[in-house]
A and B are shown apart, each in its own frame.
Chain A
Amino acid sequence: MRATAMYPLSVYILCIVRSMGTSEALLALLEPVPAHGYTLKREYDRWFGRKRPLAFGQVYSTLARLERKGFVIQNQVEAGQGPERRVYEITPDGVTTLDTWVATPQTPDLFATSSLYARLTVALLSGRDAHHVLARQREVHLERMRELQMLRRGASGPDLLAVTYELIHLDADLRWIEQSGARLAKTEGEIDARG
């Protein structure tokens, strides 16, 4: 049975796909040097978290899952003034998993989850103002692109990669919005004809 058949799509995307990224990110952070949970959370937020810092609970639940799969081991307990802290280390299987994940292209089907596509389809099917849906989204997209341009001017390294990634994807969305807008009358006619 496919995972998407067991969960609503939103749960699958938000919880399973995202947590898969978290697992690999934690493995990547452990690859150069063993670390404890606090360090992993701090480094994750620095490199991957951006808008969604990782909760401590998710760090430890993810590490526990990786340990069960044999991708990490606890190799020592670091003693300090506070409570003892477990230090995690990546295993050879963990490195192989990371190699595979980095080298495997992402399935290019995330567009199917776009709420814009869904909202536009509902507007067309229900006779609501589809032009307004597209025009409003265009404004919001352009506003975000303007914010990103300001961020880009001061960005470097991974921040620059993240900003330009978002910018170019928003640009692709906008081209789709403009193309859809130009075809809207025809699309409405086709939907009417199907009844």
Chain B
Amino acid sequence: MLEARSVSLSYGATQALRDVSLRVEPGASVALMGASGSGKSSLLHCLAGVIVPDEGSVLIDGVHLTDLSDRERSRLRLERMGVVFQFGDLVPELTLVENVMLPLQLLGRRSGQARQRAVELLGRLGIADLADSRTGAVSGGQAQRAAVARAMLHEPSIVLADEPTGALDSINGEAVLDALVELTSSAGTALLVITHDNVVASHLDTLVTMHDGAILAGASR
């Protein structure tokens, strides 16, 4: 479970987040929307433990990120978080399956097991036949599915996705979102997606809208 409690953050004189509280239950999904500069990215950075808020706290599975050292936060991110970015951000020197295996390898799991699970997951996403292709040889939609697999392979508690379909056409975007929602809800993973796209938001359980660093009252459903 992911939770922000009364989080506030300033960059110098600019207040980026104002008393933001948010909760994503296991298996639930939330769309975070808002205009540019509304505070979405700042909130994402706080939720990911990349930035420590000035006030308030962020909890992952009940653990206060704000109580942890940098090293402990990094370890917790690796173990319990999956991240999907707009452009996938796969390592171009590696094949799709090697990219997907990375989190488990960084966690010290055995390579054979990691590969087997990575191939299974790529199969669920319909791209098992591309497991040994390099990222440059696959389409944007296929690369983004691999990014979803990479985010889910280590069975994280939460997945944070920043415009995960922003670089895709609508058909490929739909397939990637369907896969992301299906995988996270069936695994009991909390999913938070930042998006500007109402169609993307409509895939998810709840919508939260931000404006001027705060969550708009009555904007959740």
A binding-site residues for B, Cβ under 8 Å: 135, 139, 141-143, 145-146, 148-149, 153, 167-168, 170-171, 174-175, 182
Contact = CB atoms under 8 A, between A and B. Distances in A.
A171 B202 CA distance: 10
A142 B221 contact: yes
Interface in B47-75: none
Nearest to A143: B221
B35 to A, nearest CB: 8
Nearest to A177: B198
Contacts of B178: 153
A142 B203 contact: no
A149 B202 contact: yes
A142 B201 contact: yes
Contacts of B199: 145, 167-168, 171
B1 to A, nearest CB: 22
Nearest to A173: B198
A175 B203 contact: no
A51 to B, nearest CB: 19
Q: Is the interface of A mostly helix, strand, loop or mixed?
A: helix
Interface of B: 35, 178, 198-199, 201-203, 207, 218, 221
A145 B218 contact: no
A174 to B, nearest CB: 5
Contacts of A135: 218
14 contacts: A135-B218, A141-B198, A142-B201, A142-B202, A142-B207, A142-B221, A145-B199, A145-B201, A145-B202, A146-B203, A148-B202, A153-B178, A167-B199, A167-B202
Given A142-B207, A153-B178, A171 B221 contact: no
A148 B203 CA distance: 9
- Which of B35, B178, B199, B203 has most chain A Cβ within 10 Å? B199
B128 to A, nearest CB: 22
Contacts of A141: 198
Nearest to B216: A135
B203 A149 contact: yes
A148 B199 CA distance: 10
Contacts of A139: 221
A11 to B, nearest CB: 33
A175 B198 contact: yes
A145 B221 CA distance: 13
9 tightest CB-CB pairs across the interface, nearest first?
A145-B202, A174-B198, A146-B202, A171-B199, A149-B202, A171-B198, A149-B203, A139-B221, A142-B202
A175 B198 CA distance: 8
A175 B201 CA distance: 13
Contacts of A153: 178
Contacts of A171: 198-199
A171 B174 CA distance: 14
A148 B198 CA distance: 13
A154 to B, nearest CB: 12
